[in-house]
Structure 1
Amino acid sequence: MEPFLHGIILAFGLILPLGVQNVFVFNQGATHKKFTNALPAVFTAGVCDTILISLAVAGVSIIILSFEWLWTFIFLVGFIFLVYMGLLMWRDTAEVKDHQESNSFSAKRQILFAASVSLLNPHAILDTIGVIGTSSLVYTGYEKWIFTIACIVVSWIWFFALAIIGKKIGQVDANGILLKRMNQLSALIIWGIAVYMGAQLFLNLI
């Protein structure tokens, strides 16, 4: 029971803060008329988190990130992508007319963007490795499996909840004004994280 509770509390504490991944999943729930249309983003985010958590617990990710050039590359690609994604979010008016979706991300686009904000986010990777990966070292055998599963379950539940909450907010915004402001706020958050990442990259290079 202790590994399970530890995994739940730890994962929830890491995933709760407002980050790019959470913003994107919430946004997809809000901008799609049907909840099922936002599932590609939810499933992709869940799968990516499952991979990152599993690699962190297995210790593989620590070995990969021991290469400085790889870490710099991830920061650079992540910075460029977040700037681009913020631009798309800002331009998206998210208007809803005659119960039809406008400017919504297709399933393919959702998968691409959700995977990118999950796997090209250095801070999310660091949290997974530094916190979940390190915390798992106190467990062995089946207890480590229980701890890992608890972290993964929390991640999946959280992404479904974000999309559902987003959908509910989207339903009460018939004219699309609230969704437009939400998209612009999402863009500002994404750009803010991109600037921080760019600053970290610059400091690492000098």
Structure 2
Amino acid sequence: MIEDLEVDFSTFIKGFILAINLIFPIGVQNLYVLRQGLLGRHVFATALVCSLSDVFLIWIGGTGIGMALDGYPNVKRWVMYLASFFLVYYGFHCLYRAWKGKVTAESLEGEEGVASLQRSILTALGFSLLNPQGILETTIVIGGYAAAIQDYSQKFSFLIGATVASIVWFFSLGYGAKFLRPLFKSHKASRVLDIVVACFVFYIAYKLSQQEVPFFM
């Protein structure tokens, strides 16, 4: 059946535009990709993990699984608790970096250690798969829209459009940040960045602990 599918351009564009509009607002996932891009730290791996995670959730939603999970509030509640814990941990990690004041774009050039790469990948996975707003947008909104399309070729075209949008966005965000990288060659600028990120994730963690999903997450 797959070989018989053809991409409908108009439906492809609809999927692309819907996904971009949902992904575009600055949230913790985008903020992490932006930070990695600003510091030039494992940008490719971070963008790849975030985009593939989104693509996974989009196609899960397209099969109707996301709509089925929407009927289990306990699952969403535990995702919010796990996300809150993860965000608090990352927030304190940012404050620790700011306190140490040893992380700059210059100091990270050439830092490609295995342990550092693994931490970047795991953090990107956390921001992608422990993101209640992202899960709702990909599995419920995008997936729900796709699940309602009866024609398989159009459904396929819509999901491909959303897939391309996610990949284009995260790689553009990560590598586009290099133009601002000269601003973060000083310890002071990097400290400010970490403090801003920490405040942002602490606020979102608090909202999630109250079982509220911030619209910009």
TM class by shorter-chain length?
A: 0.7 to 0.9
Q: Does the C-alpha gap of structure 1 residues 23 and 84 become closer, same or farther in structure 2, counting only changes over 3 Å?
A: same
- Unpaired segments ≥5 residues, structure 2: 1-8, 213-217
Deviations 1:134-184 (A, max 9, x none): 221135211111110111111111111111132221234322322321221
Deviations 1:80-127 (A, max 9, x none): 111111111222236338x43289981101111111111111111111
CA distance in structure 1 between the partners assigned to 2:164 and 2:37 by the alignment: 20
CA distance in structure 1 between the partners assigned to 2:179 and 2:116 by the alignment: 20
CA distance in structure 2 between the partners assigned to 1:94 and 1:144 by the alignment: 49
Matching residue's letter, 2:132: P
Query: What does residue 177 of structure 1 align with?
Result: 188
Question: What TM-score do you get using the length of structure 2 for normalisation?
Answer: 0.82
- Which among 108, 112, 116 is matched to residue 118 of structure 2? 108
- Give the share of equivalent positions with the same residue, in percent: 27
Matching residue's letter, 2:156: W
Name the SS for the 1:100 alignment partner: helix
Query: What does residue 87 of structure 1 align with?
Result: 92
Matching residue's letter, 2:133: H
CA distance in structure 2 between the partners assigned to 1:54 and 1:66 by the alignment: 19
Matching residue's letter, 2:142: I
How far did 1:129 drift? 2.6
CA distance in structure 2 between the partners assigned to 1:113 and 1:134 by the alignment: 28
8 Å contact kept, 2:94–2:198? yes
8 Å contact kept, 2:46–2:121? yes
Query: What does residue 57 of structure 1 align with?
Result: 62
Q: Kindly report structure 1 stretches of 4+ aligned residues shifted beyond 3 Å.
A: 93-97, 102-105
CA distance in structure 2 between the partners assigned to 1:107 and 1:60 by the alignment: 32
8 Å contact kept, 2:19–2:166? yes
Query: What does residue 168 of structure 2 align with?
Result: 157
Matching residue's letter, 1:100: S
Question: What TM-score do you get using the length of structure 1 for normalisation?
Answer: 0.86
Query: What does residue 43 of structure 2 align with?
Result: 38
- Which among 133, 136, 156 is matched to residue 126 of structure 1? 136
Name the SS for the 1:200 alignment partner: coil
- Which among 28, 32, 55 is matched to residue 20 of structure 1? 28
Deviations 1:29-51 (A, max 9, x none): 11236xxx322211110110010
* Count of residue pairs the alignment pairs up: 197
How far did 1:13 drift? 0.6
8 Å contact kept, 2:34–2:173? yes
- Residue 196 in 1 paired to residue 207 in 2? yes
Report the RMSD for the aligned CA atoms in angstroms.
2.2
Query: What does residue 177 of structure 2 align with?
Result: 166
Matching residue's letter, 2:81: L
- Unpaired segments ≥5 residues, structure 1: 202-206
CA distance in structure 1 between the partners assigned to 2:95 and 2:157 by the alignment: 41
Query: What does residue 17 of structure 2 align with?
Result: 9
Matching residue's letter, 2:20: F
8 Å contact kept, 1:95–1:177? no
